[in-house]
Amino acid sequence: MSNDKVSGKAFDFGLLGRVFGLVRQYRFVVVMCIIFTILGSAIAISTPLIVGKVFNEYIGKVANPHDSVYIANVEHGLFLAGLLYFGLLLCQTLFMYFQTYYNGWLGQQAIQHLRIRIFGHILGFRLRVYDTTPVGTLITRSISDVEAVADVFGEGSISIIGDTMQILFILSVMFYKSWQISLYCLSVFPILLVAAYIFKEKVKISFQDVRTQVAKLSAFIQEHITGMQIVQVFNRQKRELERFEKINALHRDANIRGVMYYSVFFPVIEVLQAIAVAFIIWGGSHLVLRGHTDPGTMVLFILLINVLFRPVRMIADKFNTLQMGMVAAGRIFTMLDTVDATPDTGTVVKPDMQGQVAFNNVWFAYNDENWILKDISFEVKPGEMLAIVGHTGSGKTSVTSLINRLYEKQKGDIWIDGTPVEDYELSNLRSQIAVVLQDVFLFSDTIANNIRLFNPNITIEQMEEAARMAGADRFINKLPGGFEYQVQERGATLSTGQRQLISFIRAILQNPAILILDEATSSIDHETEDMIQNATEVLLKGRTSIVIAHRLATIQKADRILVMEKGRIVESGTHSDLINQGGLYRKLYELQFTELVI
């Protein structure tokens, strides 16, 4: 999904079709944009024709200054020609307005729908995607890449159609008026086509490089702003700035390469245009002297060649805008085509689970066969409390992550109430399981919205009652606004214990059949731990609970304790049983008891 090496061909018609599929419901607007573009191109040719006609009919002829009737006819003709010229320019301006506005409108409609699709797709990814994909990369796909796709409409494909039509109209008029002068002025076109092709290929590589560097910049900045506390605590500001300067320099160099290609290509076009005009003057003059054409046609060709080179220059520029949009679209659709969501094919819906959990010979690995869990089997009866202990990396959290299918096992079976977890409808399964993590994430919103998570069915009275149960009402009521207090990003204005209490309120309000506590009291003070212990006793009553514990003193009342080591269950029993066995659990308990005494 993170692969940036997409083709991004400007005329990859399959990809272009998918982009235009984003505005399928606005077909009428697309057709009108194309019509406005073609009409504007036709008018652009009409104005030089008027000038050529005026030159031949009025200016090029020798007038009799004493013939008042003749002078009046000339002035009347010039007035009508000027009026027609002005009217055509006014129409061209209106067509250009409608074309520009609705091209941009289509682009914004497209990216609105595309962003919704992208975010919905991201929401469905398994957690392993976030384990391997930088957050900044996903942000780039959702924001800057999507903006580039909007340019496919605003400055890309439809405008290129108009410019191409304009070129064809001009060439038709030129060959109709004089094929000899046409060949003179078009003799520079082979050189122009070669230059345009080289420019296109060079800028394509440059644009791909720019998009790659933008993604790297976004990932670096997002990661370091999020981890700024670590950067400052360990005095890494200077070193991280040096790393940022290197990444930023690569981004700058990629853009400068693109600027350099533009700075070479556009002067080349200007020189070729000047040469074409020189050929018209040289060849056209000979034809006029020999009576094969008239001076008005020469003037017409000089005007047409200027009009001709403008869309050629614009196509080169818009082609690369289109190409950048197609590169971005290729990256976005590559991500959208990546199917790495948890399969939601289950049909079983149980609004009131009993909470019986069973593992049978379960094996699990995050990557390949680097097994994190090895042949795990156990059962938790409804209403029981199971505790899991062990050294860091022993697989404790992996066990709980498999229950609500945040990750998928490779071997074995997991049942809830006798039904395989895969057979449950995913939303139903997760609605019956509440998880309280050690690292609590809070959004930049009110405490109320962080608790209810925008569930309109949860009332303020229910939140207040849950807060009293968790012992959190004391600190919440002291905050400005109480439950309407605005929490900063990740809950930075609250203490670790306060964030933990809020996560307990979330769990209480979910009223789950199964409660998972993942070292939920390992990072809080003893006073807050006492509050949580009191709330936990109420919360656990009548519910199946699986507790991953660091402080062994908090799980002595567990119905059963599993001791894990290197992905296996090495001991199982009650607290007193395990103490009497004198194994790993007793060593862990005595080590903690010694630390507390010291």
List domains and CATH numbers for the chain.
13-337 (1.20.1560.10), 357-597 (3.40.50.300)
**Whole-angstrom distance, CA of residue 145 vs CA of residue 333:** 11
**pLDDT in the model for residue 523:** 54
CA distances from 494 to 487, 497, 513, 543 (A): 8, 8, 29, 29
Torsion angle defined by CA atoms of residues 226, 229, 230 and 232, in that order, rounded to the nearest 10 degrees:
120
State the chain's maximal CA–CA distance in angstroms: 130
Expressed in angstroms, the distance from the first to the final Cα of the chain is 51
Tens of pLDDT, residue by residue over 76-89, are 777 888 888 888 88
Cα gap 36→100, rounded to integer Å = 10
Secondary structure class of 68 (helix, strand, coil):
helix
DSSP label at residue 422: G
Q: For residue 591, give the amino acid letter.
A: L
Neighbours of 12 (CB within 10 A): 17
Length of the chain: 598
CA–CA gap between residue 359 and residue 420 (Å, rounded): 10
Q: What does the alpha-carbon distance between residue 407 and residue 415 come to, in Å, rounded to a whole number?
A: 15
Beta strands in 244-297, from DSSP E residues, in sequence order: none
- Which letter does DSSP use for residue 10 in this model? T
Q: Which two tokens stand for residue 3?
A: 């692969």
At 331 the pLDDT is: 82
> Position 338: which residue type?
T
pLDDT at 535: 62
Residue with tokens 């890449």: 145
Q: How far is CA 423 from the centre of its chain?
A: 32
Separation of alpha carbons 472 and 454, rounded Å: 20
Decide: residue 250, CB within 10 A, 0-12 exposed, 13-18 middle, 19+ buried: middle
Specify the pLDDT at position 364. Answer: 93
**Taking the CB of residue 273, how many other CB atoms lie within 10 A of it?**
20
- Ranges of the chain with pLDDT below 50: 2-3, 5-8, 596-598
Three-state secondary structure call for residue 173: helix
pLDDT at position 597, please?
42
- What pLDDT, on a 0 to 100 scale, did the predictor assign at position 376? 93
> Which amino acid appears at position 14 of this protein?
G
Estimate the crossing angle of helix 189-226 against helix 144-151, to 10 degrees. 160
pLDDT at 358: 95
Q: Is the pTM of this model over 0.75?
A: no
**Residue type, position 510, single letter:** Q
